[in-house]
Each structure stands twice: as structure tokens, then as C-alpha cells.
Structure 1
Amino acid sequence: MIRRALKKTKMNGVFAIYKPSGISSANFINDIQDLFTNSRKFASDLKAARDKVYYDLSRDKKWQKRARKKADSTKVKIGHGGTLDPLASGVLVVGVGSGTKKLQYYLAECQKTYETKALLGISTTTGDSEGEIITKNETEHITPELVIEATKKFIGDIKQTPPIFSALKVNGKPLYEYAREGLPLPKGIKVRDVKVHDISVVLDDLLTKDHEFTKLESQLDENGVPKEHGLMNNPTLNDSPLYFSRQYLEKSDKSKVNNPRILADGEELPEKLPLIHFISDVSSGTYIRSLISDIGRALESSAYMVELIRSKQSEWELNKNVFKFEDFKKDENIWGPVLQKVLKNGGENINLAEELDEAEKTFKEATEDEDDEPTEKVSVGDSEKTEDEIHKKRTIDQVD
């Protein structure tokens, strides 16, 4: 491995990384933080941060004995610009060092693009496949035309009720904690104003039943009877008002829809449920699970999310300027200069794949050049011997 003198570089700014499905944003960020904390590329910034922590704490009598231990445990400062649920994957904007101060824009102001797949006929407590079944509804009446028309009702400025399984807080406590503990909310979930810039329905697989997603099944008790869902003390997405966009209502007087069609007693949904697949451009603060639930109700049925990919957030876009965690498994002399460039200049005019390929090429050439350097010769009498040969002779002489 090439060993170079540590440069005092500033590693502060914002970049984006692909978060895979199956891990929470918080745990994923922790993995990145540990990687950066142990990296030589962040060593000078980390030393400065630890020195500051030690200086500040050592001036406080209560902390004087523990100041060094606390300082040495300090990690690279890091945060993210918008949570992705464990089920979701895609662009996660990350702020490092002083770059964390720039995250508010990504949290509250920027535009995002999501690719979403959902199954019709079931509503759940979470709005996705990780929840419990609330209702089962008819789907046979739904046509491609109805789906396209339903999505149009939500394009523009709309009001939206966030799901109870979210990190929003009521009286300082996250909503999902009330839901998991079965505690009634002290007050209703506040409706928010959001903007849906566009919804494009993917026609290739619209209402197909030929997909990889398995239908969600009800949880059963010891007698084989379906259990009631766990939100009996709290509102579900089905209980929130159904809001259409202001722009749609200005053009149409169809502000009401009929209630979802509940399955009759003894009637069962098919093993494969029809799928809807769309790409939506939305403002910060928009809950795609709520949007899916509302579209399902607008179809006089129900829907729950089975896949969510955030493909773009502001200037950060998949397959353009978004890192993968695997990129940081390479030698840091490859990813380090590229990350530094992104942190400094942003992601607007960068092709990350090309930058990483070029950095890897440069690194390999440098490695090969070092390997090809001739071994230094030293003159011993009338003959030339390598350093290794001389060391070997000295060792033999010492043994003799």
C-alpha cells in the first residue's frame, strides 16, 4: 500500500450516498461515521475536533478527569438530509463537519423524486408491507384509465396527513412510539401543506399480477383467527381526510369519491394483487406512503407500498453523482480525493463513476511505479550488493 504524508485537508461539506433497503437511515449513517472516523483522510479534521472538545471540557471542573476520554471518543461529525424508511432505498444526502449546517435545505426546501410500487386491495397500519392489515378491499373494478385519472387528482398543492408510523413528534415524543405502545395521541396529527409537482404512471406493468411481491397476510392468534391490528387507540391513514390538489379542484367539481369497497364476508383477495408503479416529483415533507394510501382510496379501494426508491434529491441523482458504500471499501487514496472534490464543489457538474475510475487508474499507476523502482545498490569493496544482501550477510556474521 502507498504511504504518503498526511495532508491537512478540510473534509467538510455535503455528498450523497445510496442507502440500500433493509437498514435504517440512522444505522447506515453510523456505519459511514465509523468508516470516516477510522480514515486517515479525516485525521487532521478529527484531531482538531478532539482538541477543541478537550480544551472546552478541561476548563470545567466537573469534566477535568474525563475530558481526555471524552475527547478521544469523539467521532467525525455527520448527519443526513432526510430519512429513508428501512424498506426504502436510494439517495441519502449526508453532511460532514461544517457541512451539517447545510442540511436544513435538504430537510425542508428541496425537490425529491421517488419511484414507487404498491399493491392494491389492502391497507396497513404503516402504509407499507411492514405493517398489519387494516382492511381488504375490492380491486376488480379498477382499470388503467381509473389509475391515471386518480393520480391527476393529487398533482399540485395538496394537504396531507402524515402516517402515525413516522418520526414526527407530539409533545416531544415520536408518533411511532405512541403507535407501538398502543397509547392514544394527546392530540391529532397536524395536516401539512405539500406540493406534488408531477406523477408519471409507468404503463408497462400497470395493474399486472405478474410480479415478485407476495400478498401480505393477516396475523393469526393461537386459534388461527386473524388478530385485530394494533392501532385501535389511534387514527390510521384511512381515518384522515382525503385531500385533492387545489389545481385539480379548480378545474373539476369532483371533490368527493365513494368509500372504499370492502370485501364481502367469505370473499378473499386473489393470491396476486394488482400493482401500480409510478414516479413522483414532490416537495420536502411529502410522505409517499400517505400519497399511496390516498390514491388507493381515490380508486375506491386501498393500497400499500412494497417498494420505494428515492432516485433524486435536489442536485443529487442516482447513477450520476451518488456514492455507494462499496466505493469506500476501496483504498482511501482512490475515494479520498474524489470525496474531497465533491465536498468542496458539490455534485452539480460531476460524473462520479468517471472520477472514481480516473482516481483508481492514477492510484494503480503510482503503485506500479513504486514497485518498478530499482533496489538501491551500495558499494562494498570491489563489488555491488543490494541492501537486502548486505543485511543478510550481517545477520549471518552475527550468528557465526
Structure 2
Amino acid sequence: MRTRNLFIALTMMTATAAITACSNDDNLETVDLNKPIDLNLSIGQPGTNTRASVSNGGSTSTFTSGDEISLTAVTKAKTGDTPVAIDVEGATYRNTLTYTYDTGLTADEAFYWQNTSDMHSFYAYYPAQTNFPKKADDASYTYTHSFTLPTTGSNIDNSTLAKLNEANFMYGEKDSKATNKGISLELSHCMSQITFTVEKGAGYTASEAMPTITKAEILNNKGMYTTGTFSLSAGKVTATNGVTAGTQAITPYRPKDNDSKDTNTWYAIVFPGQAFANGSAFIRFTTSDDTSGSTTYTYKLESALTCTANTSYNYALKLNRGSVTLSGLTIAQWTKTDKSGNAGMDFPGTTPKP
């Protein structure tokens, strides 16, 4: 088989028209191997293509200039249900490219289908991993990327959307034989999300404003996972080295509303497998007002929590006069997918430039 490159023509915001295919009476597709592959990535909530579908007064943010998503193409065959790498002149063919938003792929990174009989595999992962090998002879392609969550002091730092996205690993894969049709590849989240909102509760009159929350943290007195690996072959993130005993809090992201005022919703990303004990201090926030000064409130978990990948845990809290109580908890799949293969994030706020 010729060592021909596999061109990946990526569209992020609009669908690219598929090449017209020719068919015979048996509906066998005739594929032009000289035409580039039309590979469409979907990242965002249904109906959008975004890194972080950020609701800001009803609008939705998109990728910003310079955002990068890595793409890997691998040629492999299948024996039964087991993928088997194909030798191309003595070496398994694969290549990893980086798509940069607003500029796309460079002209010299042109790849095409190798043939019409063998399976081709495509992988996409965000954030882009520039230290993944460009080409490799390892048939299993088990490369992993080690990373550490951003920290400030002794806290995991999710305080900005940019820092939140540093930990927001997403992954998607698709197998296909050569076709003239577009290849849709959807990404899903490899990490877990915790959100909480705080609303005015009992003890306040209708005319009284809820005290201003000046600081908020997510707590775990047993420690937090801070290091892990992102596996391309497995498509998942795994925490490593156990919890870091000295890291017992997360500073979550608090977005602003359309008038640039702080909202009362916070977001954090944690490793799958991160556990929080029943009865333990879980959410702590500090308020201030003109009469009582500064007051600290702590919500303790009413049931144990162990986080799983691609899952969002959403706590609704009531700030009563002198106490905080849970008014609701929803556990949902984090990535929202539709028939078009879109995948979503639900961080509200304004997306800063990277």
C-alpha cells in the first residue's frame, strides 16, 4: 500500500458539503482517493459548535482565535472485533495534526484515504496535546499525557474560564472505511463537573437582598486528586498518585452576568473517581453585608459522592438567615449530544481570550 497522507479537511462552525459519490446497481460506493476527507468535529451544546457553551444573556460563546484541537488519523484493519494495525512499508501509518481556530490546517498537511478496503480511525482531543508523537510505529498507540491541575497556593484553581478549560479534557473517535460522505466526530468530556447555585432562603423578607457572597470553595478534608494522565488509546483521564493531602479545596469559577455583575453560580472540574464523604464539609462561602459584617457558611454533604467521567453534579443551595440548606440536586450527563453529534459544556459567563 502506498504511503499516502490522509488529508483531514476540518470544519468547525459550518458543515462542509460532501463529495458526490458514484454508485452502481449494487449500491457500492465509488470513492475518489484523490479527494480530501471531509471530517467534521462537533464540540458544544446541541445546535452549537463551541469549546465552552457559555451562556451570556442568552448568547453563546464560541472558540476564540488560537484555540487548538488535536487530530490523529490511523490506518488499521479489523480481525473480527479486534483492531489490527496495518503495516505500511514496514511501519504502521499514523499522524497527528493540530487544528487552530481561524487558521485551520496548513496547506502542506494534506492527507487522503489510503485505500477503499481497510478501516481508518480518527481521534480528536482537546486541549491540543502538542507533545503527542507526530508519527509512531507503536501499533497499539498507547501514548499518554501526564498533567497537573492548575493550583494557586494550596487550592486547585478553577477561578477563570481559561483555567477551567485547562482541565476540561474532551475526546472523540470514529472508525470508517473510505467514503465520499462527511465523517462526523463528536467529543465528550473525560472529567467530572461540580456546580452549585445559592439563592435567598428563609428568614429574609421579600424586600431584603441576600447578603453578597465574597468567597466560595469546594472542600474535601481527605484531599483532592491533582495529577493524572490522559490516554489517547483509551480515550479517558485517570487520576494518579492518590489524593494530595495538602490540597483540600477548589476555588471554583464564578461567571458574570450580561451587566458584568457576579452571578451566584459556581463551576469546578474534578477527576473521575474523586470521592467526598457523607457528612463532610463540602461547600463553604463567605458573605458580607452592611449590618452583620462577614459570615461564613458551610454546607455538609447529606450523602457520599464519587464522581464519574462526563457527569455533572449540580447542587442548589438556600442561604437562610444563619444557615445554609440543600434545596435540590441533579446528576446529569455533562455532554449533551444530538443526532448531529454535538457535544456540550454549560459554563455561563464571558469567554476570555486565551
Q: With the length of structure 1 as denominator, give the TM-score of the two structures.
A: 0.26
Flag the structure with more relative contact order, 1 or 2, with Cα contacts below 8 A and sequence separation at least 6: 1
Higher helix share: 1
Please state which structure has a larger fraction of its residues in strand. 2
Look at both structures and tell me which one has the larger radius of gyration over its CA atoms.
1
